Amino acid sequence: MIEVSRLSKRYGGADAVRDVSFACAPGTVTGFLGPNGAGKSTTLRMICGLTPPTEGTATVHGVPYRRIPNPGRHVGVLLDAAAQHAGRTGREVLTLTALATGADRSRVGELLETVGLPAKAAGKRVGAYSLGMRQRLGLAQALVGEPSVLILDEPANGLDPEGIFWMRTLLRGFADRGGTVLLSSHLLREVEAVADRFVVIAGGRIAAQGTRDELLSGTGVVVRGTDPAALHAALRGAGLPAEPDGTGRFLVAAPAEAVGRAAAAAGAVLLELRPAGGDGLEELFFTLTHGATP
């Protein structure tokens, strides 16, 4: 269980993260989503005790990370795959992690196989690894202590489509066995297929959170016309909140009939009018995060 309550981090006069609260339950994968610079990594670093919060609290199994005895046996963390020791081999990295945490060294070979690093790759120095190989090694390192919680920051970076599918399968299996996964990404499609819940952060603040169905319920309609400016003016004139998506379409938090009547009254010709959510969470994600600043 991960619980984050009103976390804030301020650097000088600027808020990197402001009043962030959410929870991740056992048996679930939580997708922590937002554009680059939204505050995802800062939030994860605060949860893991690497960055002290200005305000608020974060606990894992009811305890701040820094107070967990031998945390590697309870929480597997991958925040930066590039931080691994370049002069050691992949096998050495895992063996040293097992020794440091008191984990079973016999699991090293099994984990290397699990993450797709065969003996030849495991014997290479990490400095010769591609980013994708480092990500695989980082996941294995997070799993060495047989933790019940995984906290992962952009773990799909550098993975090819096959690797992303493998990662999803691994994380889904971990959660299905009762584990808790917090998975950060700026790419919605990487996590949409595996996450049970989503927390969307933009400009350092939580923009939305919930299951897919909860996020998409009541999101309104998508509308597109021959003249976007005229259509936007018609919607504003009717008091209908409309958010442009950058492609000439608008997401409108109103019934389709109200949108159609507003367009007809203004003489705006429509080319498209449909319920939002037809493209999954992507439309909603763009609308929530577009143009947000701390």
Specify the amino acid at residue 95.
T
Any idea what DSSP says for residue 269? P
CATH of the domain at 211: 3.40.50.300
Token digits of residue 165: 């599918």
Predicted pLDDT at 186: 84
In a domain, 282, yes or no: no
What is the Rg, in whole angstroms, of the alpha carbon atoms belonging to the chain? 22
In a domain, 245, yes or no: yes
Question: Do 163 and 224 reside in the same domain of the chain?
Answer: no
Whole-prediction pTM: 0.79
In a domain, 211, yes or no: yes
Question: Do 224 and 211 reside in the same domain of the chain?
Answer: no
For residue range 234-290, what is the model confidence (pLDDT) as tens digits?
999 999 988 887 788 898 888 889 999 999 999 999 999 987 765 556 767 776 776
User: What stretch of H or E contains 151?
Assistant: strand 149-153
Question: Do 156 and 180 reside in the same domain of the chain?
Answer: yes
Q: Count structural domains, the chain.
A: 2
In a domain, 283, yes or no: no
For residue range 100-136, what is the model confidence (pLDDT) as tens digits?
999 999 999 999 998 989 999 999 999 999 999 999 9
In a domain, 191, yes or no: yes
Does 68 have pLDDT greater than 80? yes
Tally Cβ neighbours within 10 Å of residue 151. Answer: 25
Q: Which domain covers residue 271, as residue numbers? A: 220-276
